[in-house]
Structure 1
Amino acid sequence: MARSRTAENGAGGLPRPEERVKVRFPSGDTECAAWHYPGTNGGCVIMTGGLAVTKEPGTDRFAERFHQAGFSVLAFDYRRLGESGGQPRQVVRIKDELADWDAAITFARALPEVDPTKLAIWAFSLSGGHIFRVAARHPDLAAAIAQTPNADGPAATRNATRHQKPTALLRTTALGLLDAMGGLIGRSPRLLPLVGPPGTVALLTTPDVLDNVLDQDNKYPEWQQTVAARSTFRLGLYRPGRDASQIRSPLLVVVAEQDRSALAAPAVEAAQRAPHAELVRVGGGHYAPFTNAHEEVVAAELSFLQRHLVP
C-alpha cells in the first residue's frame, strides 16, 4: 500500500491537520490513485467520479461531508484517468472500470480503521450506473448509493441525440470510428470534449451539462475534461439498471426530475426492482445534487449511511 501525504489548507490558507492521504492500489496491470480520509466510526464510503470525471471534482464536496460525519472515505480515479496509471489515457472501458471497483473494495477492506462489514459504495452519472452492477456482484456490501445514475445507456443515447444537430452528430460518430480503428493499430486516442453546445463535436450537448458546475471556479485545473472518442460506442449499449433486482444490499437511488443526461425514469424503474431500495427525488437537472439540491441530497445520503453502516 503506497502512501504519500499532502497538507490541506484551512482558513486563510494556513495549514491544518491532515485530513486525507494519497494512496495507490493495484488494479489489472497498473495502479489506481485515491484519497483516503481516515474516519472514526468504522464505516467506509468508496467513491469515484462520473464519466471521465476525476476524483477531486467528482467527490470532494460529498467526501468532505461524509468524513465530517465520522466515515472513512476512499475516493479513487479509474485507470487511465487522473492520477491513476494505465495507457492509453482518457480511454473509458466499462469492464476495466468495474474491475477497478472490485480492487477498490478489496483495498478498503484492509484499511486499518475500517470494519470490513461496513463498506458502502457511492457514485453518479455513468459511475452511478456502475453502482447497480457492482452492488449486485458484492452482496456483502453494507450499502450502495447511486446518484443521478445512467441506468439505461440506449435510452440516454436516444435522448442525447435530440439535443445535437445532425451534422455534428455525424462528425462525432465518424471521429469515434476513426479513433476505434486507430486504437486497433496502437494510435493515440482522438479526444472529444466531455460537453459542448449543440452543433459542436462533443460527448454530451444536453442542456443540463453545459454549465461546468463541477469546476466553476477553476479549482481543478489538472482535470482533463476530455474522453477518447473510441469510448463512446459501448456506452450506448450499457444497461446496468437491469442488475438492480439482484442487489441484496440496502440501495439509495437519487434522481433529479429534470435530468436530461442520465434520465430519471430508468433509474426510478431500477430502484423499484431492487429488493431493499429507497428513492429520493429532487428538482433540477443532472448536477442538481452538486448545486441547488446539494444540502437536501447530502442530508438524505448521510441519514442512509448512518442507518446502515453505524446503526
Structure 2
Amino acid sequence: MLEQAADSNQRAVEFLSDGLCIRGTLRVPSGDGPHPLVILGHGFGGLKEWTIPETVDALIEIGIAGLAFDYRNFGDSEGLPREEIAHLGRLQDWQDAITYATTLSEIDPHRIGIWGTSLGGRDVLVVGSIDRRVKAILAQTPLIQWTAQSAARAAGYGDDLERYYLELADDRRNRQLGKEPRYLPFVQATGDEAKEEYVESLSPDEIRNYHDRITLQSFSPSVLTDATSLVPLIAPTPIRFVLADGDFLPGQRQAYSAAGGRKSLVEIEGNHFAPYLRSRRQAIVAAQEWFAEMFMTTPK
C-alpha cells in the first residue's frame, strides 16, 4: 500500500495481478466501517481518471467506498507493451482487485460491487458470471460482441479481413524479432468523432497518462466473441444495464434479455459516449441509485 494522500479518505493503492503491479485510487467515506465498496474500471483504452471519479463522488455521498484502477499496460499500472488491451488479462485484474479489497479492514468483503463501462462493461459481465464474491453489478453501454469482423472495423480495416489478419500476423512476427509493436491512433481520423469529442473534453489532469495510441494487437480477435451466453450465469447476483438509445454496439438488449434473477434496465439518450458527455449526470445517478438499493437499504 502506498502513502496516504492529503485527503485522509483517499489514497493510492496497489496490488499484484499475474506479477504486475496494478495501481488505483481508493476513496472511503468518513465514519466507521466496514463500508460497502464498488470497484470501477473504464473501457477500451480508458483510464481511471476518465469520468470515474465523479461516479465515485456520488457513491461516497451515500456511504459507499470506490476503488478505481488502471488495467495492466495502461496508466499508472505496470505491463508491456504499453497501451495494449489484454482481453483476458483484464479479467484477472478485476478478480485480483476484488481479492485485494477483501483484505482491507475498512471494506465489508460481503458487500462488493463492480461497475464497468464499454469494454469494462463486458468485463463485469464475465467476472460476475464466475465470481460469487461480487454482490451487485452495473454494466454501462457494454461491448457484447467482439468478432473478427467487429475488431477489424474498430481498427479501421472495414471489411478487409484478409489485410487485417495479414497485418496482425506481421506485427506478431516483428515483435518476435525484437521490433517495436505497431501502434494505431487511439482517435482515428475518420469514424471516431464521438470519441474525439470525449477526449477533447478531458482536463489536463485526466489526460496525464494519455498518449493517443493503442497497439494493433489490442484489436486481435478474442475467444470472448459474444458475452451473451455468460449473462444467464450471473444470477442470482443483481445486475443493472445502463444503455444509450443511440449506441452503435450490437447485442446489448439481447444480453439484458438473457439475464435472469434480479435485473434492471436504465436507458439514457445519446450515442456510445453519452454516459461521459450529454447524459453523464443521468448515468451517474443510475449507478448511485442502484448501489444504494443494493448495499444501503435495510432488507424487509
For residues 155 and 283 of structure 1, the distance between their equivalents in structure 2, rounded to whole angstroms, comes to 29
Q: The residue matched to 1:300 in structure 2 has which SS?
A: helix
For residues 200 and 160 of structure 2, the distance between their equivalents in structure 1, rounded to whole angstroms, comes to 25
For residues 164 and 222 of structure 1, the distance between their equivalents in structure 2, rounded to whole angstroms, comes to 24
Unaligned runs of 5+ in 1: 8-16, 199-204
Whether the 8 Å CA contact 1:128–1:149 is kept in 2: the answer is yes
Q: Which residue of 1 aligns with 2:256?
A: 271
For residues 183 and 203 of structure 2, the distance between their equivalents in structure 1, rounded to whole angstroms, comes to 24
Per-residue CA deviation, residues 15-74 of structure 1 (Å, 9 max, x unaligned), is xx4442011101102110010111356110001111121111152221222223221111
Letter in 2 for 1:130: D
Whether the 8 Å CA contact 2:157–2:164 is kept in 1: the answer is no
Letter in 2 for 1:153: W
Change (3 A) 1:39 1:182: farther
Q: Which residue of 1 aligns with 2:3?
A: 4
Q: Which residue of 1 aligns with 2:123?
A: 130
Change (3 A) 1:87 1:160: closer
Per-residue CA deviation, residues 144-201 of structure 1 (Å, 9 max, x unaligned), is 011010011139818946x957699987765533322223344332211122232xxx
Quote the offset at 1:209 in angstroms: 2.1
Is 1:31 the counterpart of 2:21 in the alignment? yes
Whether the 8 Å CA contact 1:213–1:287 is kept in 2: the answer is no
Could you tell me the percent identity over the aligned residues?
A: 24
Q: Which residue of 2 aligns with 1:280?
A: 266
Q: The residue matched to 1:23 in structure 2 has which SS?
A: strand
Is 1:194 the counterpart of 2:186 in the alignment? yes
Whether the 8 Å CA contact 2:151–2:219 is kept in 1: the answer is no
Change (3 A) 1:64 1:225: farther
Q: Which residue of 1 aligns with 2:175?
A: 183
Between Structure 1 and Structure 2, the one with more helix by share is: 1
For residues 185 and 150 of structure 2, the distance between their equivalents in structure 1, rounded to whole angstroms, comes to 17
Quote the offset at 1:115 in angstroms: 0.8
Change (3 A) 1:18 1:135: same
Q: Which residue of 1 aligns with 2:67?
A: 74
Per-residue CA deviation, residues 247-278 of structure 1 (Å, 9 max, x unaligned), is 02100111111112xx1x51111111111221
Q: Which residue of 2 aligns with 1:13?
A: none
For residues 144 and 132 of structure 1, the distance between their equivalents in structure 2, rounded to whole angstroms, comes to 8
Q: Which residue of 1 aligns with 2:217?
A: 230
Q: Which residue of 2 aligns with 1:10?
A: none
Change (3 A) 1:22 1:284: same
Q: Which residue of 2 aligns with 1:111?
A: 104
Relative to structure 2, which stretch is displaced further, 119-128 or 146-155?
A: 146-155
For residues 215 and 181 of structure 1, the distance between their equivalents in structure 2, rounded to whole angstroms, comes to 38
Change (3 A) 1:185 1:63: farther
Equivalenced residue count is 291
User: 1:92-111, aligned counterparts within 5 Å?
Assistant: 92-111=85-104
For residues 96 and 175 of structure 1, the distance between their equivalents in structure 2, rounded to whole angstroms, comes to 23
Is 1:211 the counterpart of 2:197 in the alignment? yes
TM-score where L is the length of structure 2: 0.87
Change (3 A) 1:166 1:303: closer
- Identify the match of residue 89 of structure 1 among 65, 82, 87: 82
Q: Which residue of 2 aligns with 1:14?
A: none
For residues 168 and 63 of structure 1, the distance between their equivalents in structure 2, rounded to whole angstroms, comes to 41
Q: The residue matched to 1:242 in structure 2 has which SS?
A: helix
Q: Which residue of 1 aligns with 2:12?
A: 22
Relative to structure 2, which stretch is displaced further, 133-142 or 52-61?
A: 52-61
